[in-house]
Amino acid sequence: DFTEMMRALGYPRLISMENFRSPNFMLVSEVLLWLVKRYEPQTDIPPDVETEKDRVFFIKAVAQFMATKAHIKLNTKKLYQADGYAVKELLKITSVLYSAMNTKGMEHTEVNEEDSSKFKFDLGSKVADLKAARQLASEITSKGASLYDLLGKEVELREARTESIARPLEINEAEKMMKIAINNILEQVQKTKDMLNNVALDEANLEARIEKRKLELEISQKRLQTLQSVRPAFMDEYEKIEEELQKQYSSYLEKFHNLTYMEQLLDDLRRTEQEMFEEAANRLHLMQNRLKEEEQHLLKSGDNDDSDVEIQEDEGSDSEGEERQLIKQCKAMETAVQGRAGKRIVGTMHGGDTEED
């Protein structure tokens, strides 16, 4: 597996397990340096491995680099042996690089398979990053301001720092301060233990309260089910009253419709009588005008005979009688219309039992 991974990573030389049957520090150092350069090309690790001191320094430098950068813990003793056990340590680095290469290759194939025309940039995913960047910018500004203030006080604090450094360290005072610090830490530990104990008690109390609430909830649910299943005593009376109310409402609607119809008929009758009255008044007015014209004509014609006068008087008496009769009829009709308009009809919606009623 190690040789195949190295070949896949692009190592220029061919490696076989026979090379590690006996200690081969030069090959191990070369592979380690190539893997480190492969992981981070900008790293600076001295490649000198001529002396024993240089080899130890080289192994320590590689192990420290991989621990800090890649979080890979290497056994320096096995690497220094440069045999088959060193291959296991080298395999830790090569497996990480090989898996990273495979992951990157899969990502490239997936991107190539996707249609570039359908690719859309999701701006919503960058909102959180934008907020974090703004917050970081504000923090940087505040930190820079506080740093500027502290640097302004550096001139004053330099003398006090120099005096503190120049002052000889007293063992008794240091021991006293250490005891005080230890006592403070012990007090904090005791407080933390007390808080943990209180948390356990609070948890027990909360669990008991939760159980109590659950029991109350079950009792309330049972009571609700019981109340829902029981029919109230007033429901029969309520249903009976509701039926009577429905009947009364139907009767009310019928009477209201009848009353509306009767009022409409009454309005139509009044409108007809008013039209008849206006027509009679117009006829009377026309007849009065005609009579006035005849009287004027008679006054002008004074040379008529007695017989003609008598005939005209008879005709005038007849016309005057007709006019009087017409005037009386108009006045009676006007009085009847006024009486009907002023009176109010009172009655019921039910007809009589007989024709006389």
Per-residue model confidence as pLDDT tens digits over 225-273: 888 887 777 888 888 999 999 999 999 999 999 999 999 999 999 999 9
pLDDT tens-digit series, residues 176-196:
888 999 999 999 999 988 888
Predicted pLDDT of residue 346:
46
Q: Which two tokens stand for residue 99?
A: 């898996």
Show the tokens assigned to 344: 């109010």
pLDDT at position 265, please? 94
Q: Which amino acid is at 253?
A: L
Q: In this predicted structure, what is the pLDDT of residue 260?
A: 94
Tokens of 87: 């291959």
Q: What count of other Cβ atoms lies within 10 Å of the Cβ of residue 319?
A: 15
Q: What is the pLDDT of residue 320?
A: 54
Nearest in space to 79 (alpha carbons), one of 49, 44, 110, 111: 49
**145 touches 137 (CB < 8 A):** no
For residues 25 and 49, is the Cβ–Cβ distance under 8 A? yes
The per-residue pLDDT for 322 is 57
pLDDT at 45: 80
Q: Which domains does the chain have, with CATH numbers?
A: 1-103 (1.10.418)
Report the half-sphere exposure of 144 (CA within 13 A, side-chain side): 6
Strands (E), the chain: none
With tokens 């009176």, the residue in question is 343
Which tokens hold the place of 174? 């240091």
User: Which of helix, strand or coil describes residue 266?
Assistant: helix
- Can you give the pTM of this predicted structure? 0.32
Average pLDDT for consecutive 10-residue bins of the chain (357 residues)?
Answer: 79 78 83 84 79 85 83 83 81 82 61 45 63 86 87 83 75 84 92 86 89 93 86 83 94 95 94 93 91 88 53 48 59 53 46 47
pLDDT for residue 341: 44
- In the 3-class helix/strand/coil scheme, how is 221-276 assigned residue by residue? HHHHHHHHHCCCCCHHHHHHHHHHHHHHHHHHHHHHHHHHHHHHHHHHHHHHHHHH
Contacts of 111 (CB under 8 A, 6+ apart): none
